[in-house]
Amino acid sequence: MVDNLAPREVQFKKLMGILGIIFLIGGVLFAVIPEHFQVLLNYTGAMFGLDKAPVAMEITSNIIGQERGADRLYVILACSMMMMITVISFACFFDPRKYIGWIPLLLISKITTSVLAVAFYFWADRYFANLVAVFTDFPIFVLVLVFWLRARGAEQAPVED
């Protein structure tokens, strides 16, 4: 743990701890119940007329169990990304000054997800799950960007009373 953090660094540290927990839970859900989670989102979208049809996209039946091959690739990649941003978040929680340089990786992940989700929703398949990706990841991108920019220069700034 780092001592004598500026108030903005403390705020950044707390945000990263909270996001680390959220990303860990999300990664576990993606691994354990990828289709169930997506089907729930798409049925919700269909109720509000946001989906073209409330069906599951073929991703995988379950990451554990049935023999399926290449369709697990997307689950593996999603879980890998979630674990990467979990590690980044927890690293910044435990030592924000040392690991603050890792934040651009998290930001790239969140903005890429947001842009691709918008593109897929409007130009490919209108699934509510794509909108949910934008509604969650873009605000996370903005929140982390703001807290990161504020914390980045906080060590050199005079301490505010």
Residue 103 lies in a domain: yes
Residue 159 lies in a domain: no
> How many folded domains does the chain comprise?
1
3-state secondary structure 65-131: CCCCCHHHHHHHHHHHHHHHHHHHHHHHHHCHHHHHHHHHHHHHHHHHHHHHHHHHHHHCCCCHHHH
Average pLDDT estimate for 10-39: 89
Residue 1 lies in a domain: no
Taking each helix axis from N to C end, the angle separating 73-94 and 7-32, rounded to the nearest 10 degrees, works out to 160
* 158 — pLDDT class (breaks 50, 70, 90): low
Q: Which domain holds residue 97?
A: 7-152
Average pLDDT estimate for 5-16: 96
- pLDDT tens column, 96-144: 999 999 999 999 999 999 999 999 888 887 777 788 889 999 999 999 9
Residue 48 lies in a domain: yes
- pLDDT tens column, 39-92: 777 677 777 776 655 454 454 444 445 555 556 777 888 899 999 999 999 999
Joined tokens for residue 58? 């073929």
| Residue 5: other Cβ atoms inside 10 A | 19
